[in-house]
Structure 1
């Protein structure tokens, strides 16, 4: 554990040293490669009240992050719930598998910005199109992972459960779904990652407060240090959430890799 933490700290320190060296060498203008000190200054500035201005665009950094995390959480929850139900249907019902597989593949290959404009036309520029965009982006990975995991569950488990008196509806809920849980959680981790990469696209329109909206607004004024700060905040919060999902996987599927 200590060795792992030391290696991670060493990797971060090395990246910071390389970043500082590149910025200090002035090979590129600071608008291309801002110095770590500039990003740190923006971290302080966007987290405090300065010159009568509150944070960035009137919102503190934690408010931008909190709004984006709320959107990601809602979109991911809807996507996970819909993906599990869809994956169960695809994995258990051959007819639905034939009908729904092409649809899931079609949606999965669409870039988010390709249909975000359509969502804005349908639902306006408030929260609804953002949440729906994240939902549509997060659902296919969970659906595919769930369907493939269910199809990989050995049929002997179902036969054994039926022979012990389990009803037909109990087999998918109590036998198939728990057996597929490790792969489903992997799909959930992928879905949350997709939602994170999509949040900047979701916040390109009326996205302030929001980390993606902050990045988009800073990009318009060539505030590269704010853009880098936003990227670092998204990445750091993503690492925390992925760590929580890995912890949930160890609790919900402790047998993974052991059986």
Structure 2
């Protein structure tokens, strides 16, 4: 008996199996990081090569070194000049992120309410859905001028523009998720005496959360893509306003720097939203 137990322990050592998946996931994660770093290096090398071949003027295509110098210049004080237009790059980006955060918050909140009403009340869906689709198809600049006429050129039209841009994706995703909630679970809850409100909170919303979270990510991305449009008027300080000002003076290095700042911060925001999604909706893809 002892010999059999010893042989079993040799053939299946305890603790070995749980560690292997963890090591495999870690190795896979590092491989992905390595591939991304390599791809970034290749793109930078190609960029430098195109600049060295002088196919286009440096005004049209600055070198990576020129963009790096613009980063240093806009992040420091040089000969008494503070950053770009009196503000550091981080200040421009921070103010824009504040606008996006506030506008996205209003847009997501409105989209959740509208989506829930559309999903639970058929007559609301019939009345409201065409207008939500109408707003979703409008480019931000199409109604920004009207918002300026109504609200002036201060912060209000920018926040409203970002909020209006963020609302439709959340409303559409929420309505679709609510309508697609499992009918058997809804009927079971109603059979047990749950009211419409209790059924919505206890059954429909947990089922709809994965799709709603996707709608929120899309909404924030659309709001961010509308940033430059929102900051075309009186956008300084702000990263979109910085890009517009640099474009007026043919400062392509500052324009490209601003695009990198928007893109990288957008990646970080999306990663943060995905992390929140994994915490709030851990059952996504499992049920």
Q: TM (normalized to structure 1)?
A: 0.98
Matched position secondary structure for 1:169: helix
* Superimposed CA distance per residue, residues 101-137 of structure 1 (whole angstroms, 9 cap, x where no aligned partner): 1000001111100110000000000000000000000
Residue in structure 1 matched with residue 112 of structure 2 by the alignment: 84
| Pairwise CA distance, 1:31 | 1.0
Structure 2 unmatched ranges of 5 or more: 1-28
| Residue of structure 2 aligned with 1:106, choices 134, 138, 142 | 134
Matched position secondary structure for 1:156: helix
2-side partners of 1:229 and 1:136: how far apart? 27
Name which of structure 1's ranges 86-95 and 16-25 shifts more when overlaid on structure 2.
16-25
Task: Write out aligned runs for 1:151-230 (5 A).
Answer: 151-230=179-258
Structure 1 residue 66 corresponds to structure 2 residue 94: yes
2-side partners of 1:121 and 1:147: how far apart? 32
* Regions of 4+ moved over 4 Å: none
1-side partners of 2:39 and 2:199: how far apart? 47
2-side partners of 1:83 and 1:220: how far apart? 36
Q: Which has the higher contact order (CA 8 A, sep 6+)?
A: 1
2-side partners of 1:108 and 1:168: how far apart? 29
2-side partners of 1:106 and 1:220: how far apart? 33
| Pairwise CA distance, 1:165 | 4.0
| Residue of structure 2 aligned with 1:6, choices 34, 38, 43 | 34
Residue in structure 2 matched with residue 25 of structure 1 by the alignment: 53
Residue in structure 1 matched with residue 79 of structure 2 by the alignment: 51
| Pairwise CA distance, 1:167 | 2.8
2-side partners of 1:90 and 1:75: how far apart? 22
Matched position secondary structure for 2:40: helix
Residue in structure 2 matched with residue 138 of structure 1 by the alignment: 166
Task: Write out aligned runs for 1:242-257 (5 A).
Answer: 242-257=270-285
Name which of structure 1's ranges 198-207 and 174-183 shifts more when overlaid on structure 2.
174-183
1-side partners of 2:200 and 2:53: how far apart? 61
CA RMSD of aligned residues (A): 0.9
Residue in structure 1 matched with residue 9 of structure 2 by the alignment: none
Larger Rg: 2
Task: Write out aligned runs for 1:115-134 (5 A).
Answer: 115-134=143-162
Report the number of matched residues: 259
Matched position secondary structure for 1:75: helix
| Residue of structure 1 aligned with 2:122, choices 94, 98, 106 | 94
| Pairwise CA distance, 1:170 | 1.3
